[in-house]
Structure 1
Amino acid sequence: MPPKRGSKRKAIKSIGVATANGDAGDAPQSTAPDRTTWPGWVEMESEPAFFNVMLSEMGVKGLRVQEVYDMDEALLLTLPQPVHALIFLFRYKAAEDQQQQNDDCPKEVWFANQTPDFACATFALLNIVNNVPGLHLGSELQKFKDFTDDMDPLSRGDAVDSFDFVKRIHNSFARDNDLLQADLRIKGKNSKYRKRQATARANAARPARRNEEMAMRKPPLQEKSPNAVHARVSGRAKRPTSKKSPKESTPDDGPDDAYKSPSRSKVTAISEAEDDEKPSNGLRRSKREPKPRKPDLVSTAQHDSDDADGFHFVAYMPINGNVWKLDGLDSFPQIVGPFSEDTGGWMQIAQPHLVGRMDQYAASEIQFNLMAIVHDPLVGEKAALVENVKMLQAFDRKLDAFSDDWREIDGADTKKVVVTTASTEYGITAEDLGTSESTADIVTKREEEHDLLQLIQLRKEVVIQQTGLRAAVRDSLEATRSDEEKARHRRHGYGTFVRSWLGALAEQEVLSSITED
């Protein structure tokens, strides 16, 4: 069941975003459950920063979630490459379910059904990261993938629902209000289920109760006697028939009907005509039109529960030459179409499909969103900076072999901002610089570079190259810190602080003058 979303959304350019920020005033005055042990799931906002933090805390390395503002081909090419997957958020309606083409899950596709409510964000992420080849998943996710490798999609969904490690990370973004509202929804769902069960039991017992009522309406059985008075179904009683004495009988006497008056025959004919219109159970059938039946309570309750719409996350990604739609609400993963790298890659197949889906909602809905799961640019930028530092270290070793005071020569000076060793600012460790295989080894093997000034000039070029590399790594690290800051603000209990602060002001009677004004 997709989550029901609030109306407050974050507006974006060209593509509307559907983010759920419930109003704090809607929260019931109750104590929120402990999110670390709470058994349910809460709805997730379509915020790339939260998805990035989730991936990081799960232990996944090398991926980054980035918002896509337009499906224009030129803009898609500006995304960090490669693009591993797309996450499409849209307003889900049960009546719009499409016929599924695939009726099984291939071995090469890891896919889990979304068994719990409001967990589609995490299911979309897991359906993606478990299908990216060579991805560093972290110890917890790797163990989970190995454990669920031979399961069917439904069993994997149940396993995800019981995976407390992932559930705690997912629910860590929930506010107290979200937990309370989720509890109310669960209670309301259970109440509706109990009502449906009671209605179903009542409907099942209705035929037996009707038969009992009909049996009670039938007249009691009486002993057969020549003088017994038989009750008519119409409610009138037959007249008792008197036996003729031998004195009243004649040889020409015929059946009794021969002596009935015309009026008696007419009444009998009318009675017989009425009897023909009576149903077999003895009840009189009315000529009036029957009243329309009330809608079945079970089907109505099911409609109210199942047809409620909400926002839902669906993943699209390439796997073994095909573009797959990984929707946790589908029984199995669905093929969108085959692709080839020679014809433009998998985005050439996914783009028209998603544009078509967006056009379906364009007339009435703008609340959908698209995010791309891309290769984290920090990985390549950091690797390039590490290689640059190794080159500088190799030049320094070779220049030290020429002269101890080479740093005094013009052009050989090194500014403080230049990274020549491990750096916590840029995330470079001694292990990163200690790897044996490096392009810096070329420096030590170049026999033609025996000229001191030429080596200093080559080193200067490497120092200049490092300026751009440091800027790129700094920007990526700043983006990561910004994501963490957004997640920290989201997870902070501002509502609890404000309520405590207002309570303290009320105890000091500071608010009385404000309320009076």
Structure 2
Amino acid sequence: MAILEADSTMATSTAPDDVPTASGARRSARPRKAPLKYDEEYIIPSETPSAAKTLARPNRPKRAAAEVARKQIVPEQTASLQEQVFARMDIDERKEYRGWVELESEPAFFNAMLQDLDAKTLKVQEVFALDEMAFADLPKPVCGLIFLYEWTNEDESNEARQGCPENLWFGNQTTANACATVALMNIIMNVDAVKFGPELEEFRDKTKHLAPPHRGHALDTNDFIRAIHNSVARRNDLLSEDLLLDNKYEAASKREKPPAKKRKKTSSSSKRKYEPGTYHYIAFVPVNGQVWELDGLENMPLCLGTYAPDSTDAWLGVASEAIHKRMSRQNDEFLSFNLLAVCQSPLLTLSHNLATSLATAKALEDVANGHSSWDVTTPWKDFPSDRLARFNLTREQILAQFLPDDSRVRGANSDIAAARKLAEELRTEQEALEAQYFAETATVDEAVDMIRARQRDYTPAIHQWVRILAEKGVLRTLIQEMDSLG
């Protein structure tokens, strides 16, 4: 589970029959009802205390952790600790960190992760409604859905889960704060047609025959994937997570346990304890004609039904119905949701369409070139080798792997005017495909640049600047001026 504040949310209003309506989907900067806590992820203890459902005041675990640390730190050590905390962190230091930091619900971050994971033929796109129109606008095929929701006690259900079949890759969440990456991996590991980079291919090969808990452990201990997940973390983020977990462990170890004879057996679902503002990611994927719900906190996957494999959108209807049911179990109309789709990147489709258009233009040239009045330049003049390389194409690859559209070329030899018109249409088509390709590339680059900007840590510079101001007495003067105004 994750305590997150979604940048973009899909909220629902509740109809009289308590079924959320698709028209209620909206985009909002923050939930209308702010969660009481949004800065922690929980590993739920096996004992569930019978506490009140509402809290008198917000509980801030990190703030409590900071208070404990403040009491334990010796004043003489403060300067030294500040230098360590605010020092610049290098790449190796982030890779060596064994924990997982919190992630916000940001599509750009998922897209940057896919680029860093070398799964560049995939793309994450936000979905704002659960209807055919919203799904129709997604790039095809849609490989999976990532659903972010606020977990409540009402979320418990009695679905019959089953063992994980051999053709399904499902990994459990074995550590805190990893649910976003677990959901993403539970989708992309099931996309057989996608070729990954060497690190991710090695991970898939090593884990495809493991049980779900072992896959989750392999993900938790994979330095490559974990470092990408933690790529936007600063040192104080890592220290904050360590301090929080240390204090929670200390508090749990002091908790008095009831006598063994009075303890009752509980189901796996009853082990969860509701905490206000607890958000969690789960995945929905189509595999061999079946739609699966993959929740890393559940021991087993859940089969939602079947669909016609020959239809690229049929499985989305099954997943949409399941998401509606999950949302209807949460009776609070102010709860917020977020839905992301993992799709095949349009870049691949646009590149293939451009190659087909160029192959058709070359076939047209071959047919009409014998005509005395044919004066149209060869398509290779407009698309030389260096220009084709921007689309990951070569002239030899186009001629060998892509078939021309013969139906368009037919008759060009007998009607040179029609041939010239077709050549102009193909040139316009190629320019449009090129423009769409570069626009999509710019979108990907924008996402990556945004995350790269988040990775720049200005904390050391700010700390140095504030320290110089303090040494020169400027801060004391400012504080005195503020006190006088108060």
TM value normalised by structure 2: 0.72
1:156 maps to which of 203, 211, 215:
215
2:357 maps to which of 381, 385, 388:
388
**Secondary structure of the equivalent of 1:336?**
strand
- The Cα shift of 1:434 comes to 5.5
The C-alpha deviation readout for 1:120-149, integer Å capped at 9, x for no partner, is 111111111111232213222222222122
1:355 maps to which of 302, 320, 324:
324
* 1:98 to 2:62 alignment: no
- The Cα shift of 1:496 comes to 3.5
1:78 maps to which of 116, 121, 137:
137
| Conserved 8 A contact 1:18-1:46 | no
* 1:41 to 2:100 alignment: yes
RMSD over aligned Cα, in angstroms?
4.1
Q: Distance in 2 between matches of 1:103 and 1:395?
A: 56
- Matched residue, 1:3: 2
Q: Distance in 1 between matches of 2:220 and 2:317?
A: 34
- The Cα shift of 1:162 comes to 1.1
2:26 maps to which of 14, 29, 32:
14
1:54 is matched by which residue type in structure 2? M
2:85 maps to which of 31, 46, 52:
31
**Secondary structure of the equivalent of 1:173?**
coil
- The Cα shift of 1:413 comes to 11
**Secondary structure of the equivalent of 1:314?**
strand
- Matched residue, 2:425: 461
- Matched residue, 2:253: 194
Q: Distance in 1 between matches of 2:301 and 2:335?
A: 26
* 1:128 to 2:187 alignment: yes
* 1:178 to 2:199 alignment: no
- Matched residue, 1:314: 282
The C-alpha deviation readout for 1:171-194, integer Å capped at 9, x for no partner, is 113244432221122111221232
- Matched residue, 1:471: 435
1:114 maps to which of 173, 184, 188:
173
The C-alpha deviation readout for 1:338-367, integer Å capped at 9, x for no partner, is 223589711221212212222333625433
**Secondary structure of the equivalent of 1:51?**
helix
Measured at CA, do residues 337 and 447 of structure 1 come closer, stay the same or move farther in structure 2, by a change above 3 Å? closer
* 1:376 to 2:340 alignment: no
2:298 maps to which of 315, 320, 330:
330
Q: Distance in 2 between matches of 1:105 and 1:413?
A: 55
| Conserved 8 A contact 1:426-1:474 | no
- The Cα shift of 1:40 comes to 0.6
The C-alpha deviation readout for 1:275-327, integer Å capped at 9, x for no partner, is xxxxxxxxxxxxxxxxxxxx99xx9xxx9995435211000111222211000
Q: Distance in 2 between matches of 1:18 and 1:122?
A: 22
- The Cα shift of 1:102 comes to 2.2
Q: Distance in 2 between matches of 1:179 and 1:353?
A: 36
Aligned residues: percent identity?
Answer: 30
| Conserved 8 A contact 1:386-1:432 | no
**Secondary structure of the equivalent of 1:85?**
strand
* 1:489 to 2:453 alignment: yes
- The Cα shift of 1:92 comes to 2.0
| Conserved 8 A contact 2:284-2:294 | yes
Q: Greater shift after overlay, 115-124 or 504-513?
A: 504-513
**Secondary structure of the equivalent of 1:36?**
helix
Q: Greater shift after overlay, 60-69 or 357-366?
A: 357-366
- The Cα shift of 1:403 comes to 8.4
| Conserved 8 A contact 1:426-1:473 | no
Q: Distance in 2 between matches of 1:304 and 1:133?
A: 35
1:498 maps to which of 458, 462, 472:
462
2:128 maps to which of 45, 54, 69:
69
Q: Distance in 1 between matches of 2:350 and 2:105?
A: 27
Q: Distance in 2 between matches of 1:146 and 1:70?
A: 36
- Matched residue, 2:77: none
Measured at CA, do residues 120 and 94 of structure 1 come closer, stay the same or move farther in structure 2, by a change above 3 Å? farther
Q: Distance in 2 between matches of 1:304 and 1:354?
A: 23
TM value normalised by structure 1: 0.68
Q: Greater shift after overlay, 452-461 or 305-314?
A: 452-461
| Conserved 8 A contact 2:6-2:106 | no
Q: Distance in 1 between matches of 2:205 and 2:383?
A: 41
1:3 is matched by which residue type in structure 2? A
Q: Distance in 2 between matches of 1:338 and 1:434?
A: 38
Measured at CA, do residues 434 and 71 of structure 1 come closer, stay the same or move farther in structure 2, by a change above 3 Å? closer
Measured at CA, do residues 69 and 10 of structure 1 come closer, stay the same or move farther in structure 2, by a change above 3 Å? closer
5+ residue gaps, structure 2: 11-24, 32-37, 41-59, 67-81, 482-486
- The Cα shift of 1:79 comes to 1.7
1:90 is matched by which residue type in structure 2? Y
Q: Distance in 2 between matches of 1:304 and 1:318?
A: 29
| Conserved 8 A contact 2:6-2:105 | no
Measured at CA, do residues 94 and 399 of structure 1 come closer, stay the same or move farther in structure 2, by a change above 3 Å? same
- The Cα shift of 1:334 comes to 0.6
Q: How does 1:216-255 map to 2 (within 5 A)?
A: none
Q: Distance in 2 between matches of 1:85 and 1:466?
A: 31
Q: Greater shift after overlay, 78-87 or 340-349?
A: 340-349
1:337 is matched by which residue type in structure 2? G
- The Cα shift of 1:195 comes to 1.4
Q: Distance in 2 between matches of 1:394 and 1:104?
A: 53
2:3 is matched by which residue type in structure 1? K
The C-alpha deviation readout for 1:167-219, integer Å capped at 9, x for no partner, is 111111324443222112211122123213xx44x968xx9xxxxxxxxxxxx
Q: Distance in 1 between matches of 2:419 and 2:153?
A: 70
- The Cα shift of 1:9 comes to 4.8
2:118 is matched by which residue type in structure 1? G
Q: Distance in 2 between matches of 1:18 and 1:333?
A: 31
- Matched residue, 1:345: 314
- Matched residue, 2:46: none
1:54 maps to which of 113, 119, 123:
113
1:334 is matched by which residue type in structure 2? L
* 1:437 to 2:401 alignment: yes
Q: Greater shift after overlay, 384-393 or 309-318?
A: 384-393
Q: Distance in 2 between matches of 1:432 and 1:308?
A: 60
Work out the number of aligned pairs and report it: 412
| Conserved 8 A contact 1:80-1:375 | yes
1:14 is matched by which residue type in structure 2? R
Q: Distance in 2 between matches of 1:457 and 1:437?
A: 26
- Matched residue, 1:422: 386
- Matched residue, 1:267: none
